[in-house]
Every structure is written in C-alpha cells, then in structure tokens.
Homo-oligomer: A and B are copies of this chain.
Amino acid sequence: MRNIIIGQSGGPTAVINASLYGIAMEAREQGVHAYGMVNGIEGFLEDHVVNLSDYSRMKDFDLLKTTPAAFLGSCRHKLPEDIDNAVYPILFKKFEDLEIDAVFYIGGNDSMDTVDKLSRAAKQFGSDICFVGVPKTIDNDLPVTDHTPGYGSTAKFVAATVRDIVWDAGVYEHPVVTIIELMGRNAGWVTAASMLARTSYEPNPMLIYLPEEFFDVTDFIRDVKAALKESNSVVVCVSEGIRDNTGRLVCEYEEESVKDQFGHKMLAGCAAVLERIVKRSIGCKCRSIELNLPQRCTSIMISATDSDEAEQAGRFALKNALMNSAETCGKMVIFKRSEGKPYHIDLEMIPVGEVCNKEKLFPEKWIINGNDISTEFLDYVRPLIQGENHIKFENGIPKIMKPVYNKNQSMR
C-alpha cells in the first residue's frame, strides 16, 4: 500500500480524534504514508489536504486522543445520488494524483452514505481504491453495531452534568421544576443516559421523555404534578426530538424550525417551550437548560473506554485494509458485544450499505410508561462510561492539539 487519506465528517464527538489517532498511528507503525482531508470530502474537492504523517511523527501526537472537535475539520457535504455525476471522476482523479490506495472516512449515518457512494463509484470505474468507514456519533443511532464511538463520552458527560444539576436544583425548600434538553435527533440514547444520574437516595431525574414515544402535553403536566407530590425538586430530561402523535415536534410549538442540507430539521428549544407550559399550567418555579454543544465537544469528561474503543476502531480499519483489502472495501467497523459479564467487545466489518441513511432507535422495550427507562438499559450503558483519561493541563485548562483546519494548507 502506497498512501492512505483520512477524512472526518459530520458533527464532532469527544473521541473522533481518537479514531483519527488510531488510523494514523497504525499507518505509521505499518510504514504507510497518511494524508488528511481538511474539511472532509468538501475540502478535498478544493484540494485541502495535509500531510498527516508529519503530525503522527510529532512527540506529543498522543494529545490528539483527548483533543475534542475534528482535528482535520469537518463538513456536511452530500455527494450526488447519481454515480454518473461529473463530481465522481474529479474525485477519483484527485485520489489517483496523490496515489491513494485507501480512504478512511470517520463519521455517522450521512458520512457512511459518502463511503457507500464512493465504493459504488469505484466499482463502476474499475478502481482499486478502497473506501472504509469508521463510525462516530454521539447519537448512538447507527444500526448493527452495539454502540458507536462518541456515545460513551457523551453519556458520561450527561450523567455527571445532570447529576450536578439535580443537586444544584434541589438546594432550596420551594417547589421547582428543572427541564433539561438533550441531543440525539430522532434517537433517545443520549437522553436516556441521564438516568445514570439517579441514585438510591435521589430519584431525579424523575421523568425522562424520549423521541421514540409520542409526547403528550396533558400527560406531561399530569406526570410533573404527580412528581411534585413526591419531591419539591423535579428534574425532567427531554430529548430535543420529542414530538406529539400528529408528528409535530414540541420545539415547533412556538417557533419555526430550519432544515439542514441533509433535510434534517435543526432542533432546538423544546425545553424552553415546556418551561413556559409548566409556568402557565402549574405556576411553580421552572427553569429550562439546554446542554447544547458541550455534550459532544467537551474535553473534560471523556470516557477512557470510549476513547480506547475509538482508537481501536481506527487501528482495526487500517489493519484490515492492509491485510485483506478486497474484504474491507465498502465496509464499516462495528462493535459486537459478548453476552454476559465482564464487558467485552469484538470488532468486525460490515457492508456500509447496512448502515448508511438508517437509524437505530432506542428500544421500545426499555421505555417505561412513556416517561421512564428500564434498568436493563443501565447494564447496557454503564460499561461505556467507565474510566477516565489522564488529561494534561496547561495554564489551568486541558491541553489540546491545535487543529489543522483554518490554515488552508494545501499540498497542491
């Protein structure tokens, strides 16, 4: 193998750079030269390419493992559906000019769509270039794989932050409702992780609403009133994507929503909508909190398990492409969990077509009464948040590696 190139795509996670580190370090150890696309396939089309091997030889390259955001920059670029589109020959010409044998793309559902299209185009063009997907998404909504790199760190951050908010919200004697809005688009995995904040002596968050079940405002007010009879402080966790039985998003009750390039609605604000409803209907003190971007970009609550697995996913992808290219092309790394304890996963490759543009929703069987989560979910999620990375600090804040983007470094 002569050269590889790596791209990062979609929203960052706390460990997307750990996967990049895994591929780049494995390449270095195997004597393969690595390039990086700056801003994913979109930047690559504009010839924004860096010499990643220059970085992987640096002494403190392992800082990358605890550096949040996408080191190479990212994009949300959808390639044309039609493989006969003129952009594909242009892309392959660029790959060939750099003598690329394998392309590794780290991303979620939409990014795997890019891997799928490029693989199909390669077949059509009779090209030997191998396209491999490495999963990442905090949403944990990729099918087939037990979970996705990125989810564990978000779950850990959500668990710790919701727990701290629960204690903060409970310091006063007077009734208060605190509504915390969490990410996840159509999937409830991130919101469900708030259950990790609950203890034997603290029932909060007392109510958890996922997008997998219809949300009913009347039921919600009834639930909150009942909870206020048990505790002066009621903490409610809601997913950004909750919608009623007409399919209308709760966040759209007051505001218009916007769609992104992929046609996804950009969600925000259902907690604020519910805050106003609680104030109006119950009249008690109510505060809404949107945890927002820190859920996916924080460098201070990375799960060591998640970070290690993300790195292993990257190394596994490179090793497979090197050893058995024909069996690896057009595939994505997945995690398979062994049954029983202790927690153990094996890595495998599956055709990217089984993953792209599909969503794995939170299982119905783990949702209780539409407002709570089964403890079986705890057995699933707890192993994923274990372990802490040893973060280096500089000037009082976590030291990170300076990303390469915005420098517009070009190789051509």
Interface residues of A (CB under 8 A from B): 8, 12, 39, 42-43, 67-70, 73-76, 156, 159-161, 163-165, 167-173, 196-197, 199, 201-202, 231-233, 287, 289-294, 296-301, 303, 382, 385-388, 393, 395-398, 400, 402-403, 405-406
Contact = CB atoms under 8 A, between A and B. Distances in A.
A196 B397 contact: yes
A293 to B, nearest CB: 5
A300 B197 CA distance: 14
What 4 A-B pairs have minimum CB-CB distances, sorted nearest first? A168-B297, A69-B167, A385-B396, A74-B171
Contact of A196 (B165, B300, B396): B396
Nearest to A396: B385
B299 A68 contact: no
Contacts of A405: 170-171
Contact of A292 (B289, B293, B298): B289
A165 B231 contact: no
Nearest to A14: B164
Contacts of A165: 293-294, 297
Copies in the complex: 2
Given A160-B398, A294-B294, 13 more contacts: A43-B173, A68-B167, A73-B172, A74-B172, A159-B397, A165-B294, A167-B403, A171-B403, A199-B402, A201-B402, A232-B406, A291-B294, A300-B300
Contacts of A197: 397
A287 B290 CA distance: 12
Contacts of A291: 294
A197 B296 CA distance: 18
Contacts of A297: 164-165, 167-168
Contacts of A68: 164, 167-168
A155 to B, nearest CB: 8
A69 B385 contact: no
5 contacts: A70-B171, A73-B170, A156-B396, A167-B297, A387-B396
Nearest to A393: B388
Contact of A289 (B75, B201, B293, B396): B293
Contacts of A69: 164, 167-168, 170-171
A160 B68 CA distance: 11
A170 B406 contact: yes
Contacts of A202: 402
Nearest to A72: B171
Contacts of A292: 289-290
A177 to B, nearest CB: 14
Contacts of A67: 167
A39 B172 contact: yes
A170 B403 contact: yes
B290 A290 contact: yes
Nearest to A406: B170
Given A69-B167, A232-B406, A303 B396 contact: yes
Determine which residue in A69, A291, A403 has the highest number of CB atoms from chain B within 10 A of its CB, and name it.
A69
A251 B39 CA distance: 35
A170 B8 CA distance: 13
